[in-house]
Amino acid sequence: MTKLDSKIPEGPIKDKWTNHKNNIKLVNPANKRSIDVIIVGTGLAGGSAAATLAELGYNVKAFCYQDSPRRAHSIAAQGGINAAKNYQGDGDSTYRLFYDTVKGGDYRSREANVHRLAEVSTNIIDQCVAQGVPFARDYGGLLDNRSFGGVQVSRTFYAKGQTGQQLLLGCYSAMSRQIGKGKIAMYNRHEMVELVIVDGKARGIIARNLVTGELERHSAHAVVIASGGYGNVFFLSTNAMGSNVSAGWKIHKKGAFFANPCFTQIHPTCIPQHGDQQSKLTLMSESLRNDGRIWVPAKKEDSEAIRAGKKKPTDIAEADRDYYLERRYPSFGNLVPRDVASRAAKERCDAGFGVGTNETGEAVYLDFSAAIMRYGREDANIHGHHDASEEEIKTRGEKVIESKYGNLFQMYEKITADNPYKTPMKIYPAVHYTMGGVWVDYNLMTTVPGCYCIGEANFSDHGANRLGASALMQGLADGYFVLPYTIGDYLANDIRTGAIPTDTSEFEEAEKSAQEKIDFFINNNGTKSVDHFHKRLGHVMWNKVGMARNEQGLKEAITEIQEIRAEFWKDVKVPGTADGINQELEKAGRVADFLELGELFARDALERKESCGGHFREEYQTEEGEAVRDDKNFTHVSAWEYQGEPSEAIMHKEELKYENIELKTRSYK
The number of residues in the chain equals: 669
Mode of pairing for the β-strands spanning 293-297 and 321-322: antiparallel
Neighbours of 70 (CB within 10 A): 18
Burial class (CB in 10 A: 0-12, 13-18, 19+), 71: middle
DSSP assignment string, 39-50: EE--SHHHHHHH
* Given 108, 208, 338, 466, the catalytic residue: 338
Please tell me the distance from the alpha carbon of residue 92 to that of residue 84, in angstroms, as a whole number: 6
DSSP assignment string, 516-563: HHHHHHHH---SB-HHHHHHHHHHHHHHHHSSSB-HHHHHHHHHHHHH
Specify the 3-state DSSP secondary structure of 175. Answer: helix
| Of residues 562, 576, 561, 563, the one with CA closest to residue 529 | 576
Mode of pairing for the β-strands spanning 190-198 and 364-367: unpaired
* ∠ Cα 116 118 119 (to 5°): 60
The one-letter amino acid at 28: N
* CB proximity list for 366: less than 8 A, separation 6 or greater: 269, 284, 288, 289, 292, 293, 294, 424, 425, 426, 427
Residue 209 dihedral angles phi and psi, to the nearest 5°: -70, 110
Please tell me the distance from the alpha carbon of residue 240 to that of residue 72, in angstroms, as a whole number: 9
Alpha carbon 614 to chain centroid, angstroms: 13
Q: Give the DSSP H/E element, type plus range, for residue 82.
A: strand 81-82
State yes or no: is 338 an active-site residue. Answer: yes
Q: Give the DSSP H/E element, type plus range, for residue 21.
A: helix 13-23
Please tell me the distance from the alpha carbon of residue 263 to that of residue 527, in angstroms, as a whole number: 34
Return the active site residues: 338
